[in-house]
Amino acid sequence: MQKGNDRKLKLVPLGGMGEIGKNITVLEYGNDIMIVDCGMGFPEDEMLGIDIVIPDISYLIKNKDKIRGVVITHGHEDHIGSIPYLLKKLEVPIYGTKLTIGLIEKKLIEHRLDNKCLHVVNHDDKIKLGCFQAHFIRSNHSIPDASCIAITTPVGVVFHTGDFKVDLTPVKGEPIDLHTIAEYGKKGVLLALSESTNIESPGYSLSEGSLSNNFIELFKKAKKRIVVATFASNVHRVQQIIDAAKIFKRKIVISGRSMVNVIDVATNLGYLDLNPDMIVNVNDINKYKDKELVIISTGSQGEEMAALSRMAADEHRKIELRQGDTVIISASPIPGNEKSISQVINLLYEKNIEVIYDKLYDIHVSGHAKQEEHKLMLALLKPKFFIPVHGEARHLKKHAELAEKMGIKNKNIMVIKTGDMVEITRKEMKLGQKIQSGNILVDGLGVGDVGNIVLRDRKHLSEDGLIIAVVTIDRSSGTVLSGPDIISRGFVYVRENEDLMVDSRAAVQAALEKCFANNVREWSAIKSAIKDELSKFIYSEIKRRPMILPIIMEVRNS
Amino acid sequence: MQKGNDRKLKLVPLGGMGEIGKNITVLEYGNDIMIVDCGMGFPEDEMLGIDIVIPDISYLIKNKDKIRGVVITHGHEDHIGSIPYLLKKLEVPIYGTKLTIGLIEKKLIEHRLDNKCLHVVNHDDKIKLGCFQAHFIRSNHSIPDASCIAITTPVGVVFHTGDFKVDLTPVKGEPIDLHTIAEYGKKGVLLALSESTNIESPGYSLSEGSLSNNFIELFKKAKKRIVVATFASNVHRVQQIIDAAKIFKRKIVISGRSMVNVIDVATNLGYLDLNPDMIVNVNDINKYKDKELVIISTGSQGEEMAALSRMAADEHRKIELRQGDTVIISASPIPGNEKSISQVINLLYEKNIEVIYDKLYDIHVSGHAKQEEHKLMLALLKPKFFIPVHGEARHLKKHAELAEKMGIKNKNIMVIKTGDMVEITRKEMKLGQKIQSGNILVDGLGVGDVGNIVLRDRKHLSEDGLIIAVVTIDRSSGTVLSGPDIISRGFVYVRENEDLMVDSRAAVQAALEKCFANNVREWSAIKSAIKDELSKFIYSEIKRRPMILPIIMEVRNS
């Protein structure tokens, strides 16, 4: 028989609360743990040099014997991107629909990891994970094969929407399974977890299918090459581009590593209807007339290294864009990317290329539910308890307000943070202890070896540069054998500022002499003196505070 | 009698073309030069550590004897911010309306510059600048006292709109002087230069006056303190906040240096109707009940050091925000600032503060004309030639397209870049030579001492950090007297990576020994060898490329 405390369901988001990305939610009951999603986050501006961010999974490692499996809602990076790092620490089975698992598999190969932990499920499948039962329910999103997960737990049903929209005319496949969702609502949902990305947008998101004609219209007008940049994982968008190309008898060139990868997986698994005869290898691009080609490309977010940015900057090795070409950016900016996209658009305009982008044309729809769809979801589910997920504080707050308007009692709605444990019974939902959580920074091969101090130094270096003052001293006599030398990086043009450098050296020299005169012999005290003196001098001269690094080399003259 | 070439009007934008900000346009005819605006630019993301950007004015310095004066359209930083730097190089008279000159004066005091070059003009005034006559025409913008400038030149009228909107119900003052603009159009405008900021927005910008009721509604609902963050220079917005405060008998606290400055200037010059009794010193804030206060604050763009950001982060020394307070962000994000604003909003929500922002409420209107207003301007002016100004390539292109739709001949429209000289006669407008132009970076007191190499180093340091390998060598014998020592900053946590550091030292040691064995004695060759060896080692271990700085200290053992 279980102890009192164990009769509670525990819910712990290890990411995705109060942030966009890094989605991972842990459900625990007695001796069983199951996990929903295992995504990566994107570095904030102040995380200089960081490649990706993954969740701290110490809690899972500590409880590894309890883990029964991970269910994945869909194949986007913020839901699958941390799986390789999880698998390097833990041996756990992973469940997802076919395309989702296909994309995870590609990722494991890159990390040289075994794929035997991966299990394909179909929509409507129910899988048993200890005391939990997870039911995969068809949903709509900007990637095919997305799922809501209805989790039957000993205390009741927990319904996780995943990322979703309600698309009644999707391009391929079927609309979100409203019947099953309604059925759960009728039988009773204890707790709903629902995504919050577009909660600030009124109305109803447009259907993916609404774009087809717009592509056809734009393709009709294009006189030369067409480039369409979009998210690689938006397979239905890619399908519409291919379909439009077919109408105008244009061949397809695929550009960008992730675009090649996803189209490869999606075609092999039957999610994309693409005749191999339509594909032109990028090396053969010049064998075709401009009017015969559509280039499907990455870089819709203005990413510096992506295909479109390289084309715009004339740095693409294979594809050169020319006056009269048309570039369609079929995406809207993810917050933070506005300036880099704008830069790409400007570079293209400067080449007299026609640029079609979201602000001026209807060539993109969001994959996330807007307010009316959220209302529909809540109306169908009628959950007793509600926790908004996947969003910054502003989104979670607005979603909570919407839920209250939809009739959920204020005391039954919680806005929580990553690392908060929520304890749930049939009757009650309350905050439990705080669980270790946070961001692990990945830089190159290093996982977690860059943290706040290193980032603070990077920021300091990036804003003000560095001055090194180096001197070799005879330990015994305390005389200077060599130096002081002044070396700087990222500070000022040295050649134009010779006086400043000469005077800096003099400042260090003065600091040293003062130390010796006062019989200061401790290296740390001398270093401090150099740092203070030099810092003061530089600030008085030029009002900047470069990082100052005094180095004392010590020689023992025998 | 003038030579043929001199009968042309030359127009050179030294900034503001293909970029937002740094507006400065030069007009030259024969021996006369006049300048419109002298603004600063804002550093791009890649300009790490840079405070502001000013235009390269080498062309003006070379032709300083020709300069008859500078006319300023309005008092925003991107139109006046470079004036102190101009005045440090050139002695020229500056003309502007009262508030504009008041704000410039404040700036000159900060730079300890004399104000005797400043001249106040009124709307409708015409001033003579050599062969030019500049007519200041009343306009509307998000700062009072804005002007269009009609410049009568020997070849015809050049009409510069400045930044404008058509506001028929401004909060104070009068609408843009459409009559005079129409009159110029009727008499004949040779060339129109018109701003392009909002050219991508359809419709008509809302009137500043439309906000008053919204503020009153929000103030009515507020239960505790109200903070309103907006642009300091938006004096009419500030007026509406003050007026709403008056209705609800709340006092005003002014927070943020630029807010204090502008309110000071605007009140003294009669642009702001603010009874001194209404003002509460920030130090006395706790003497008043929460319901008795409105705090008008800077930081509407989420600027790290601004008042609102500090309040949100609990780092404001005087003002503490609490649950139940209301924060109104009366601004929309300038592209690039979306994430920092979002961060401020999130921090406030986490404190359970009510946040009212642009995306959800009508609490901001733009100061820039939208498409319908641009059409009106072009319809009134009916210029022969047209050059869109103040915008990135994408904006200039769209504005050119709009002008063509409005009936201006395609061949009479030019999209040009900063530094392009345009030669204009009564009959013809064509591209002339290229003029030296560009960005001068200001960092602390340094003007132009940071350039591409320094920025490249800052970027490198910011992304990968730095490893220093330092060794002291006996010049004569070639033996190592001290070191090699390895010092790193911004690279990895050293304590957690001791092995890596020890092995790095060994790699340097090995490189040195190889050099000595091969009798390599040139310092530069030894440095190269250290750099190569260490770089290779670090990359193989951890896939990163920190900056590597080998330092050799040389001792001559006598």
Same structural domain for residues B282 and B189?
A: no
Same structural domain for residues B494 and B399?
A: no
- The residue from A236, A368, A395, A399 that is catalytic is A368
B409 by Cβ neighbours in 10 Å (0-12 / 13-18 / 19+) ranks as exposed
Q: Angle CA(B16)–CA(B19)–CA(B20) in degrees, nearest 5?
A: 80
Question: Which pLDDT does position A557 carry in this prediction?
Answer: 61
A445 touches B at CB < 8 Å: yes
Residue B3 within a domain: no
Question: Mean of the pLDDT values across residues A260-281?
Answer: 95
Selected residues 86-125 of chain A with any CB under 8 Å from a CB in chain B = none
Selected residues 215-254 of chain B with any CB under 8 Å from a CB in chain A = none
Chain A environment of B487 (Cβ under 8 Å): 549, 551
Low-confidence ranges of chain B (pLDDT < 50): 1-4, 558
Residue A3 within a domain: no
Residue A1 within a domain: no
Same structural domain for residues B174 and B33?
A: yes
Question: Which pLDDT does position A141 carry in this prediction?
Answer: 97
CA atoms of A313 and A298, how far apart (whole Å):
14
Please choose, from the candidates A141, A16, A34, the residue with its C-alpha nearest in 3D space to the C-alpha of residue A78. A16
Same structural domain for residues B99 and B181?
A: yes
Tokens 């169908």, residue located: A380
Residue A89 within a domain: yes
Please choose, from the candidates A224, A194, A258, the residue with its C-alpha nearest in 3D space to the C-alpha of residue A408. A194
Chain B environment of A398 (Cβ under 8 Å): 360
Say whether B465 and A466 touch across the interface (CB within 8 A): no
Question: Which pLDDT does position B361 carry in this prediction?
Answer: 83
- Final residue of a domain: which of A325, A357, A389? A357
Residue B36 within a domain: yes
Residue A70 within a domain: yes
pLDDT digits (tens, 9 = 90+) for A141-192: 999 999 999 999 999 999 999 999 999 999 888 999 999 999 999 999 999 9
Catalytic, A135? Answer no
B359 touches A at CB < 8 Å: yes
B393 touches A at CB < 8 Å: yes
B420 touches A at CB < 8 Å: no
Residue A542's pLDDT band, with cuts at 50, 70 and 90, is confident
Q: Please state, in angstroms and as integers, the Cα–Cα distance from residue A115 to each residue in A104, A406, B17, B493, following that order.
A: 9, 43, 54, 33
Question: Which pLDDT does position B397 carry in this prediction?
Answer: 95
Question: Which pLDDT does position B75 carry in this prediction?
Answer: 97
The answer on pLDDT for A274 being more than 90 is yes
Same structural domain for residues B23 and B133?
A: yes
Same structural domain for residues A243 and A352?
A: yes
- First-to-last C-alpha distance (Å) of chain B: 77
Same structural domain for residues B536 and B480?
A: yes
Say whether B551 and A481 touch across the interface (CB within 8 A): no
pLDDT digits (tens, 9 = 90+) for A492-521: 887 777 888 899 999 999 999 898 888 887
Chain A environment of B549 (Cβ under 8 Å): 468, 487, 489
Catalytic, B368? Answer yes
CB nearest to A338's CB, from B338, B347, B350? B338
- Final residue of a domain: which of B424, B443, B462? B443
Q: Which residues of B418-445 are buried (b: 16+ CB within 10 A; e: fewer)?
A: bbbbbbbeeeebeeeeebebebbbbbbe
Kindly state the tokens that stand for B288. 């008043």
- Structural domains in chain B (count): 3
Question: Which pLDDT does position A309 carry in this prediction?
Answer: 95
pLDDT digits (tens, 9 = 90+) for A207-225: 999 999 999 999 999 999 9
CA atoms of B55 and B531, how far apart (whole Å):
38
Q: Which residues span the domain enclosing A394?
A: 9-203+366-447
- The residue from B19, B28, B77, B195 that is catalytic is B195
Selected residues 14-73 of chain A with any CB under 8 Å from a CB in chain B = 18, 44-45, 48-49
CATH assignment of the domain containing A550:
3.10.20.580
Residue A279's pLDDT band, with cuts at 50, 70 and 90, is very high
Same structural domain for residues B139 and B66?
A: yes
Say whether B393 and A349 touch across the interface (CB within 8 A): yes
3-state secondary structure labels for all residues of B206-255? CCHHHHHHHHHHHHHHCCCCEEEECCCCCHHHHHHHHHHHHHCCCEEEEE
Say whether B551 and A443 touch across the interface (CB within 8 A): no
Whether the CB-CB separation of B426 and B407 falls below 8 Å is answered with: no
Say whether B487 and A551 touch across the interface (CB within 8 A): yes
pLDDT digits (tens, 9 = 90+) for A461-472: 999 999 999 998
Residue A202's pLDDT band, with cuts at 50, 70 and 90, is very high
Residue B141 within a domain: yes
Chain A environment of B393 (Cβ under 8 Å): 345-347, 349-350
Same structural domain for residues B280 and B305?
A: yes
CA-nearest residue of chain A to B417? A350
Kindly state the tokens that stand for B114. 């004399």
- Final residue of a domain: which of B331, B357, B383? B357
State percent of chain A over pLDDT 90.
82
Say whether A445 and B355 touch across the interface (CB within 8 A): no
Question: Which pLDDT does position B522 carry in this prediction?
Answer: 83
Please choose, from the candidates A255, A276, A230, A248, the residue with its C-alpha nearest in 3D space to the C-alpha of residue A320. A255
Residue B250 within a domain: yes
Whether the CB-CB separation of A227 and A311 falls below 8 Å is answered with: yes
Count of Cβ atoms closer than 10 Å to residue A175 Cβ = 14
- The residue from A77, A195, A208, A533 that is catalytic is A195
Say whether B48 and A472 touch across the interface (CB within 8 A): no
Q: Which of A553, A554, A557, A558 to mutate to test the interface with B (most CBs of B within 10 A)?
A: A553
